[in-house]
Every structure is written in structure tokens, then in C-alpha cells.
Chains A and B, each alone.
Chain A
Amino acid sequence: MPKFESMNHLEEYRGRLLSSRNPQEPQVLVCGGPGCLPMGSEEVAAAFQAELKQRGLNGNVVLKESGCQGLCAKAVKVMLRPQGITYQQVTAEDVPEIVEATLVNGKILDKFCYQDPADGSVKAYKSKVPFYQGQRPIVLGKMDLIDPTSLDDYLAQGGYQALQKVLGGKSPEAVIDAVERSGLRGRGGGGFPTGRKWRLCRQAPGDVKYLICNGDEGDPGAFMDRAVMEGDPHAVLEGMIIGGFAIGANQGYIYVRHEYPLAVKRLALAIDQAREAGLLGANLLGSGFSFDVKISKGAGAFVCGEETALIASMEGDIGEPHPRPPYPAVAGLWGKPTVINNVETWANVPAIMSHGPEWYAAIGTENSKGTKVFSLVGAVNNTGLVEVPMGTTLRQMVYDLGGGIRDGGEFKAVQTGGPSGGCIPKQFLDLPVDYDSLQSVGSIMGSGGMIVMDETSCMVDVARYFMSFLHDESCGKCTPCREGTKHLLEILTEITKGNGKEEHIPLMEELCDTMAAASLCGLGQSAVNPVRSTLKYFREEYEAHILHKKCPALVCRPLLKYTVDPETCTGCLACVRECPVDAIHGEAAEPQVIDQELCVKCGMCHAVCKFDAVKVES
């Protein structure tokens, strides 16, 4: 890779690169995303390499490990280009068959293709799979096209063209104007208009300014930012360089969780590559503008995703938030004006500068422009990473992209926005998902977690679960959050144990009001959402637990009763052998009886019964 001295130099290189590449060349892209990697994607890639070599095809077929290809439920995913065939659930053992049939003989193997749960039809091409059809990939657009460790691949897809455009003749103000006109809002959850944030920072007095990429994604079940950092790291860098030019910063930092080792590795490699190519460092592309990026590793505290806590952590201080004002745009890292944007926000910037703000603003809803990446998880058939235009309805997400509820179950609720998001019930399935509509129903966009729940979820238990996470992660600096999460967790735990009291509901509501209004940072202010939303939309479940000591979803074990149906029990004694407290009695080959006094409601008898004779009720 040469060091690019000028825009022309880079463009000449790109031209040579493109003319040396044959778009019709067969390519195998094995997904190395967060879902596929633990399912053995490296072994699959190694198997392809061995097989291609053995058949002497390694000169004709290009093998790459790509970023996240999205449909994580069907790991390991393999994309075959130029046809655009997407194979799923591929193991290393399957590789010889795929090479023989598809790569050599051009035959599609149905068993590796997506099968539509609606009608059983087989979809071989990515463009035909409903999971991908409703998407509008901008941030995830290059995921199954490039090898994230190759700067050439990024350049071949038009990478750093946005930077050329910016450095080649735009003023910082024009860049900020464009970002403002695009309508881009912070993708980390706050939803603050990105252009306005940049402008505040540019206007803030001071010679030294900083820019931070917030990669401290900490929501359980969320991996949007991780996938972007691992799968398209140069897009994040390019966005940051453009941002640095716009606000007048020469130094950027990427704050990324230490628990994301691959993201750290890929970003570090991308930074090295960019420095070598003159895309980071002094006098970028001969423009006179200098910018560099360093990685700052976090230790995984959820609260460090909050911007002031993140800054404290970067400064080597304890990860606690600080009261605002002053806002980081005025006094941030080391007291200097600082712009903090989330990974996804930065990754949107190159596309906005390349295609223009009007193009971006045409996507989405009135006040929420562009797309949003969600990690769609929980009780849907197609779990994975999706990028949809703002305003896509929950119904489309759950039923079209998600392929409906797994095991033919019933939709109950969807929790958006991570642990401090609210649970949205069925009546809002047609809600267009954007910042404002989610807030109007008591939830948040957050960083894009989307957990779908079916009838097997107890909403009181769901609230308790998220509160236990928030209680563990609350930094403890301010009283309402520290003590509030503690008592909410305590009360919710009591309710799920059958010890709830009628006065608990108004007490929780009152406590939530104070936490939401008086907590120091967003963590405490939003921690009430799971409780408030479930109290609002699933109040009858709380009442069932408190007044009738029943858990309608059959989740809260202390409220369950296990009995043996004498009609169906064969007396096989499987349950007797499993019962840890010897609570089940009866003769062999005779119906068994559970001693309710001894029963600890562990559910083992129910789990082992082959005849469905152990009944659970509440």
C-alpha cells in the first residue's frame, strides 16, 4: 500500500485496483461476525481453503472472511458471489459438498438455503430472503462484500471517497451543514442531532478539540456496534476523520470495550493501515489537515457508555458520570471541547457525505432520518442483525424480517433500547419505529436492542431481570439510581416470590417518578422504563402475582404447583429419580404423587416426564 500524497494519487490507485479486479470472479465470503465466529466460522473458512487448494481452485476462487452477514440464527453463513447465493448453517464437513456442487457444477444445494417458515419455500438468493428484503443497509452495506482486514477491499467499494470529497473542497461549516441537513441523530440512544452537536463543539472556544467514538456497547444481547467495528472498521475511521475536520479536532479516540477483543484488533489494524496509507497522520492527502486516532480500552462497565462517565474513564478516573452542564461539546476530555458519537453514528457519516444529505434525509420519518441497525433477538425465528429505514413498523420487524414467533407462539411484547427500554405490547405492533414514537409508548430507541417476547415470558420477571442488570451496573454515585434500583429489584423479587403486597405497586410508581426525574445521568433516568412500561401495559400480571399469588406465564417458580396426572402417569419413576428432595412418591408402574410440602418447584419432574403427565399450574 503506497502512502497517498494527494487526492489524485488515491484516485489513481483506486482506478488501478478496480481494473485489476474482475467483478465476475467467484468469491466465497464466510461470515466471521459475532454470531458465526463462535459457531465455527474459522473452521469453515479453513475447510474452504483446504478444499479449494486440493482441487486447484485457489487461483480462481477468492476466499474471504467477512463481517456479520446478519441472519445470526442460521450461523455459519456463507455468501457466494457473484451470484449472491446465501448459504446457512454450514459446517466444515459440508464444505467439500458445497465446493463440488455449487462452485464447480453451479448447482444450488437447497438444504443450505433459507426456508421460509410461512410457506416452506426455499430461498437461495439473498435478494429473495424476507429477512434481507425489508432492510436498507447503509451502515451494514459492505458487510458481505469486503474482508474487514483489507484496506483495498474498502477502497474498492468506494471507501475514503467521502473523505476525498470533504478534504477536496468543502469547508468545515459545509460539512456540518450537510450533517445537519441529513437529519442524522445520535445512534447511541440519546438521539441528539449530530450536526448540532458538531456545531456546538466547533463554536466552543479552544484550540485543542477532541473527538471520541463511543464503542462501549453494553446492552445485553446487543452487538450492532461490535459488528460494525469488526466488519467495517474503516467506515468508522472515515466518519471520524470527516468529523475531526468539521469540528477542528486533530485527535480522535475510540473507546471500546476490552471484552470486544476482535473489534480492538480490527480497529488497531485499520488504524495502522490508514496511517501507512496517509489516511491518518499529518497532512492527510496533501490537504493540510492532520488527524490521528487512538484506541482507549474500557473495562466493560455499562455506565461508561454514558458520555461523561466515558470521559472520566478515559482520563483514568473512576467511571462515574458528571453533572451537565458543562456539556462535553464545551468541556469534555481533559476539559477540552469534545464530540462523542456512537460507532453507528460515525459509520453513517461517509455515506451521508458521499450521497448527499438530501439522499439520507429522504429515508426515514419526519424527525428520524436514515436507517437504524437493530439486533433482533428473542422469540423470533430469524434472530440477527438488521438495518431498516426509520419508521419500519414493529410488525414488519417481528413478522417479515424476524419470520414470526418461533415454535408458532404468540407475540407478547417487544423490548426496545436495551435493559432500560420499555416493553411494548401487542396493540402497538403497527408503531413505526423511530425516536419519538418509541418514547411516546414509554420505551426508547437506545442503541438498537430489540428483544421479542412470546407468551412464555412473565412480564414481572422480565422487569426483575432487567432491574437486576441495572442494579449491578448502576455506578452508585447518585441516590435515586443507586438506592432506587436496589429497592425496585428487591420489591420485584418479592413479587415474583409471591410476597408482593398491594402497596408495592404505588410505591414502585412513586419511586420511578423520582428516579426518572432526579437521577444524575441517563442510566438512572431510564432505568425505570422496564418497570413503568410493564406496570402500564401488563398490570394484570402484577395483580395476579400480588393478589392471587399466580404467575400466568408459569415462569415464577415459587408460584407454581406441580402435580401428576394419574390418568397419564405410567409410573416409570423417571421423575422420582430426578427429584432432588425426594418429594415424589408411589409404587412402580403406578401413578405418582408429589408431596407439595416437600416440593421445591425446581421443575425437574416436568422436564424429564416423557408422557406429559406432570402438570404445571399457577
Chain B
Amino acid sequence: MKNDSVSLTIDGKPVQVPAGTALLLAAKANNIDIPTLCYHPELKPEGHCRLCVVEIGTAPRTRLVNSCTYPAEPGLVVQTASAKVLASRRMVLELLLAQAPAGEHLKEMAAAMGVHETRFKKGDPAARCILCAQCVRTCREVVGVSAISMAFRTPKKRVATPFAEQSEACIGCGSCVFICPTNTIAYTEKDGIRTVWGRKFELQPCNKCGNYIAPKAQLEHWAKLTGDPVESFYVCKDCR
């Protein structure tokens, strides 16, 4: 419908997108790339990393907003690579490089934007987590179990299970591990046992081929969701 689309300007280029489209996606649809770290198309954007900031408005009344959540408005003037945007983005990258010196993806991204070193005191050299919360959001929004969450405030902020104990809600699905852009979350699989978030999960072998399918806890979760008997999930997808 014509009514539902809005016209705005991104980097001097007039564009039309459906009303409410996040500026990040509006730019993307017009082949303008904005770097992101905490954004994931399957998750509700929350504006954690601040890498995707863009400048909106016209001088002298402009401000930075995160493009992953800010909706396209009629007549909005957006700059995705103004001096202010680039300075802010580089500073955020410097801060992240100091926070997560071991983050390879982060280093590559920073280098691509001309940031090769940080002027800030580096934290733990092995640190990789950038607190983007993709794991937490995946667990809550996609898996639907909320086994992990952000815990504490700035000085001790981290992703954790409740009270840092083995989470009863966790189904061992490993989605958090899969989604993590920095390979931070510890995860092992050995002798039919998967270990994640400090809890061991027994893996269910396929009734036909014997290959492991998934943790029993995860299949039980599926059974609960679908109402089917858990045994109906004891055959792997290749053998079905």
C-alpha cells in the first residue's frame, strides 16, 4: 500500500521503505552497508553494541541513533558514514578491542575500519565476549527457555545461568554456542555427553543408525512443545 511507505534520505539518496522499517534494513535494501555486531535478523534488535549508529537530522540539530532499532520516518535525513558516525564507530571498536583482546572477528572488523590498536588498557588477554547478548536473546526468543541471562552491572557484567549454578531450564541445545559471534561459550561433546554452561547432558542416539541426535533434555522439550511422545524423536532426521 502506498500509505504504508515512507520516503527518506540515506546518504543523500532518496529511498522509499515501508513505514517503521529499521534504518539499518532501509539502508541495506538500498545497498548501503552499516557494520553491526549485536544485530541478528532472527532476533529482536536491542541496541547493545552501538556500532550501527547513524546520524539523523540536519545540521545543527543532528544526533546519533542506533540504526538497528530506529524506525524510518517520513522526511528523515540519515547519514551512515558522517565524520561523527565514523569517529563514534572507531571509538566503540577501540573500546571493544580493549574489552575482548582475543576476539578475532572483532579485530578483523576493526582493521577494516582502520582501527588496528586500542589506546585503552586491555582487559584479560583471553577475553572474547563483547556482551552482545545474542546468546541470551536466542535462548529466550528462539529456543524459548531463558536458561541464561545477563547478570550484574558494568564492573561484573556477564552472561550467566541463574546464580551461576547448573540451569534446570537449559536443554543443552547449544543454540547459544552456535549464535555466538566470538566463540566465547565453552562447549564440549565426548562419549555421548554434551557439556555446556557447566551442566552435562546425555545425548540420545538414533534408534536406527546410532548416531547422536541431540540431548535427551532437548528432545523432552520438543515432546512438551508438540505433545508427541518423546520416543517419537528418537530417530534422527537422516533415518526418518
Contacts and interface: CB of A to CB of B under 8 A. Distances in A.
Interface in A482-499: 482-487, 490
Interface string B211-235: 0000000000000000000000000
Contact of A507 (B48, B69, B119): B119
B66 A473 contact: no
A518 B53 contact: yes
A511 to B, nearest CB: 6
Interface in B69-116: 69-71, 84, 87-88, 91-92, 95-96, 98-99
B154 A482 contact: yes
Contacts of A513: 87-88, 91
A483 B45 CA distance: 20
Q: How large is the interface on B (under 10, 10 to 19, 20 to 34, 35 or more residues)?
A: 35 or more
Interface in B132-159: 133, 149-150, 152-155, 157
B46 A318 contact: no
A303 B153 contact: yes
Interface string A453-484: 00000000000000000011111111111111
A479 B95 CA distance: 7
A69 B87 CA distance: 50
B70 A323 contact: yes
24 contacts: A303-B153, A323-B69, A472-B153, A476-B131, A477-B131, A478-B47, A479-B50, A479-B96, A479-B130, A479-B131, A480-B91, A480-B92, A482-B131, A482-B154, A482-B157, A485-B154, A511-B91, A513-B88, A513-B91, A514-B88, A514-B91, A517-B88, A518-B88, A518-B92
Given A472-B154, A486-B154, A520-B47, 6 more contacts: A474-B154, A482-B131, A483-B98, A485-B154, A490-B120, A507-B119
Q: How large is the interface on A (under 10, 10 to 19, 20 to 34, 35 or more residues)?
A: 35 or more
Contacts of A480: 50, 88, 91-92, 95
Contacts of B121: 487, 490
A477 B121 CA distance: 20
Contact of B70 (A320, A325, A471, A510): A325
Contacts of B96: 479, 483
A514 B92 contact: yes
A318 B149 CA distance: 9
Given A478-B49, A490-B121, A514 B87 contact: yes
Interface string B153-182: 111010000000000000000000000000
A301 interface: yes
A520 B50 contact: yes
A395 interface: no
B157 A476 contact: yes
B48 A478 contact: yes
Contact of B46 (A322, A484, A486): A322
Nearest to B118: A487
Nearest to B158: A476
B206 interface: no
Contacts of A511: 91
Contacts of B120: 483, 487, 490
Contacts of B51: 479
B153 A475 contact: yes
Contacts of A471: 154-155
A481 B121 CA distance: 16
Contact of B64 (A301, A475, A484, A517): A517
B162 to A, nearest CB: 12
B94 to A, nearest CB: 9
Contacts of A487: 95, 98, 120-121
A520 B66 CA distance: 8
B63 interface: yes
Nearest to A324: B69
Contacts of A472: 153-155
Interface in A418-455: none
Contacts of A482: 131, 154, 157
A341 interface: no
